Amino acid sequence: MKRNSSIDLMKSCAIFFVISVHFLLNSGFYDMTIHSTLAIFWIGIRTILITCVPLFLVATGFLMNRKELSAQYVLGIVPVIISYIGISLLVWGVLSLVGKGSDFSTAINGIFDYSTDSYSWYVEMYLGLYLFIPLLNIIWNYKKEIKNYHLYIVFIASLLTFLLTLSQVFRVTNVEF
């Protein structure tokens, strides 16, 4: 596949956005009371920055748009699973050494429910999407000749994906004017 500089730019922005979101998280930004237009401006910036994970997902989806279901494809997930298990056990071991780790059986159970490491949610999401991508490609390519078929797919996917997120926007707390 020919290199696409747009994907490189998107991933570069996503990397910067990830760093920025974590800066805001660790700077106390989320604990501040909103009572100025400057704070509202920074909430707007944060809303843009929070797109970091979706940007990575869009780039990954674009790069995997030709993947088909095969034994080789499914086995491609094994290195990710091995890395995840190894890193989870390493994190548990380090936490145990400093007196903050749980017992071993809780750590093993945590590997299966993605709770041993606080960033396991990303692995859980990646595994699900990786396994789902061939099905999405089949759906996308199934009936191209039907008028508005792709528009329908995008609409339904957007509705299912963004409806709950949109409802959360209106549940903002800690706002004073």
Q: How far apart are CA 126 and CA 77, in angstroms?
A: 10
The answer as to whether 75 is a domain residue is no
Domain interval for residue 34: 1-63
The answer as to whether 44 is a domain residue is yes
Which residues, including other chains, have CB under 8 Å from residue 122's CB and lie 6 or more apart?
Answer: 53
Number of domains composing the chain: 1
The answer as to whether 7 is a domain residue is yes
The answer as to whether 149 is a domain residue is no
The answer as to whether 81 is a domain residue is no
Chain segment 116-156, per-residue pLDDT in tens:
777 788 888 888 888 889 988 888 888 777 888 888 888 88
Chain segment 22-55, per-residue pLDDT in tens:
998 888 888 878 788 888 888 888 889 988 888 8
The answer as to whether 123 is a domain residue is no
The answer as to whether 20 is a domain residue is yes
